[in-house]
């Protein structure tokens, strides 16, 4: 008889987190009509539907400052189309993260993460990324041929690569990213990103950021460089008044005959009170006035801004993210004990004519319109939040595309986090 001594394995701590969102969404007809005009050909969207989104993350502590994690996601849409509730769950599950993370890698204060992971960077902690926010963004080269046109793409790509984080002291932090955002073809066909990010403190109330990235795409000549600078400053000791600024300069080549020269800007201020916040800002992402002059001036990015449901949200609306300027104002106030009411109003203007795939203007108007959003959130407890959002827009551009100048959107549901 053979005897085998079995030594119990040491338990591995595993942290499980997740969230789910269940909602009813109604869009009036001009929204899918404008999307179809920007993205033609496209399958028509449902105007009213129930849908859900699910995320689940597991991270294991392997000891010796090594962690491994996996993140699964069932998105609310796939390949531009909404996924209605009741569809086969197994067909829509994505591996959003699959990584190994090393702390104090080779030297103190150096961290390494390898595998499928988010590449996202925001000047203001907890805010939506103005330039880089994968995987909740479309392809960097969406709408690109020999020139770049406005699109309403709803893509979801999961990057894979390596990231290094070095934090020598509290006043400065350095990050390096290298990875493939969209793969599946030859090396020269992959959409890849390389970036270095520096951020630090000039004082207790002033933070700075420097960004430098290279995005490559299909063909050996498609190389877009971006350099960005940002400042965030609190004017008062109580941090009640905040000023913020971001500027990006983009250059390189779209192909062997078309060069890139583009800019983007975000500048604004926020005022924080007891139970309320007011914020105003101006944003600009440059466009191109002549698609045939071999100088492409349209700013491209992996932005993840979703403040306005109709114009900006990839999940709900059109995700207009280039060749556009905006003036926006928001106000948030706590009402009752566990509820928050938010108002957002913004005026949006196309900087240059919106063009189709052949380079000709889709409509004479460049006035994208004025949008008003109202959102009410009620926090049942630390895990469950009920929400309702209503959005309306008046737009000459919508009128010329869809023959209706006013349109609206309504969404209501529950967000669950654990």
CATH number at residue 410: 2.40.160.100
Q: Would residue 9 count as lying in a domain?
A: no
Beta bridge partners of 63: 66
Round to whole Å and give the CA distance between 162 and 99. Answer: 9
The reported pLDDT for the residue numbered 92 is 79
Contacts of 369 (CB under 8 A, 6+ apart): 311, 347, 348, 393, 394, 395, 396, 397, 398
Give the per-residue pLDDT at 12. Answer: 87
| Long-range pairs, 200-208, Cβ under 8 A, ≥24 | 200/171, 200/172, 200/173, 201/170, 201/171, 201/172, 205/233, 205/234, 205/235, 205/237, 205/239, 206/231, 206/232, 206/233, 206/234, 207/123, 207/231, 207/232, 207/233, 208/232
Residue 1 located in a structural domain: no
What is the full DSSP assignment across 21-60? Answer: EEEEEEE-THHHHHHHHHH-S-PPPPSEEEEEEEEEEEEE
Chunked mean pLDDT (size 10), the chain, 418 residues: 51 93 94 85 68 94 95 85 76 88 94 92 85 86 84 81 91 93 70 94 93 88 94 95 97 91 97 97 96 92 94 92 97 94 98 89 94 98 97 96 92 96
Other Cβ atoms within 10 Å of 172 Cβ, number: 13
**Cα R_g (the chain), whole angstroms:** 23
Q: Kindly give, in sequence order, each residue whose CB lies less than 8 Å from that of residue 352, ignoring residues fewer than 6 positions away.
A: 287, 288, 289, 323, 366
| Burial tier of 96 (Cβ tally within 10 Å: 0-12, 13-18, 19+) | buried
Phi first, then psi: give them for residue 326, nearest 5 degrees.
-150, 150
Identify the pLDDT of residue 186. 56
What pLDDT was estimated at residue 6? Answer: 45
Beta-carbon count within 10 A of 127 CB: 13
Exposed/middle/buried for residue 316 (C-beta within 10 Å: 0-12, 13-18, 19+): buried
CA dist 356 and 155 (Å) reads: 19
Whether residue 195 lies inside any domain: the answer is yes
pLDDT computed for residue 2 by the predictor: 41
Q: What DSSP character marks residue 89? A: G
Q: How far apart are CA 371 and CA 345, in angstroms?
A: 6
Count other Cβ atoms within 10 Å, centred on residue 416. 14
Q: Does 4 map to a domain?
A: no
Q: Is residue 8 part of a domain?
A: no
205 falls within a domain: yes
CA distance 353 to 350: 7
Q: Tokens 């010796």 map to which residue? A: 64
Residue 76 lies in a domain: yes
Phi, psi of 39 (to 5 degrees): -115, 10
pLDDT confidence of residue 4: 45
The verdict on residue 363 lying in a domain is yes
Question: How many domains, the chain?
Answer: 1
Question: For residues 286 and 295, is the Cβ–Cβ distance under 8 A?
Answer: no
What is the extent of the structural domain holding 42? 14-417
Cα–Cα distance between 229 and 239 in angstroms, integer? 22
Q: Which residues of 246-271 are buried (b: 16+ CB within 10 A; e: fewer)?
A: bebebebbbbeebebebebbbebebe
């Amino acid at each position: 008889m053979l005897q085998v001594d079995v030594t119990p394995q040491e338990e591995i701590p595993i942290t499980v987190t997740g969230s789910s969102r269940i909602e009813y969404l109604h869009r009036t007809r001009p929204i899918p009509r404008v999307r179809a005009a920007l993205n033609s050909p496209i399958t028509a969207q449902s105007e009213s539907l129930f849908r859900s989104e699910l995320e689940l993350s597991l991270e294991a502590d392997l000891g010796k400052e090594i962690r491994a994690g996996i993140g699964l996601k069932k998105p609310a849409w796939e390949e531009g189309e909404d996924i209605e509730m009741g569809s086969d769950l197994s067909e829509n599950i994505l591996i959003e993260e699959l990584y190994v993370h090393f702390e104090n890698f080779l030297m103190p204060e150096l961290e390494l993460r390898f595998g499928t992971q988010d590449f996202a960077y925001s000047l203001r902690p907890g805010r939506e990324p103005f330039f880089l926010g994968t995987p909740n963004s479309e392809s960097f080269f969406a709408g690109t041929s020999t020139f770049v046109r406005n699109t309403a793409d709803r893509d979801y790509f999961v990057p894979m690569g390596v990231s290094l984080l070095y934090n020598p002291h509290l006043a400065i932090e350095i990050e390096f990213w290298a990875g493939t955002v969209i793969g599946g073809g030859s090396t020269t066909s992959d959409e890849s990103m390389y970036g270095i990010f520096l951020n630090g403190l000039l004082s207790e109330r002033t933070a700075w950021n420097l960004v430098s990235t290279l995005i490559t795409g299909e063909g050996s000549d498609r190389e877009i460089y971006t350099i960005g600078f940002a400042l965030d400053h609190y004017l008062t000791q109580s941090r009640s008044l905040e000023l913020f600024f971001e500027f990006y300069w983009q250059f390189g080549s779209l192909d062997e005959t078309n060069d890139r020269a583009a800019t983007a800007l975000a500048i604004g201020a926020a005022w924080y009170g007891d139970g309320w916040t007011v914020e105003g800002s101006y944003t600009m992402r440059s466009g191109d006035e002549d698609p045939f002059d071999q100088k492409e001036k349209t700013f491209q990015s992996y932005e993840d801004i979703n403040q306005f449901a109709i114009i900006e949200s990839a999940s709900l609306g059109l995700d207009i993210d280039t060749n556009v300027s905006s003036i926006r104002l928001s106000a948030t106030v706590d009402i009752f004990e566990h509820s928050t009411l938010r108002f957002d109003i913004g005026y949006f203007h196309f900087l240059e004519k919106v063009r189709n795939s052949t380079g000709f203007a889709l409509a004479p108007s460049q006035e994208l319109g004025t949008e008003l959003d109202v959102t009410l959130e009620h926090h049942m407890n630390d895990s469950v939040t009920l929400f309702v959002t209503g959005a309306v827009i008046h737009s000459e551009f919508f009128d010329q595309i869809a023959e209706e100048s006013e349109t609206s959107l309504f969404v209501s549901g529950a967000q669950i986090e654990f």
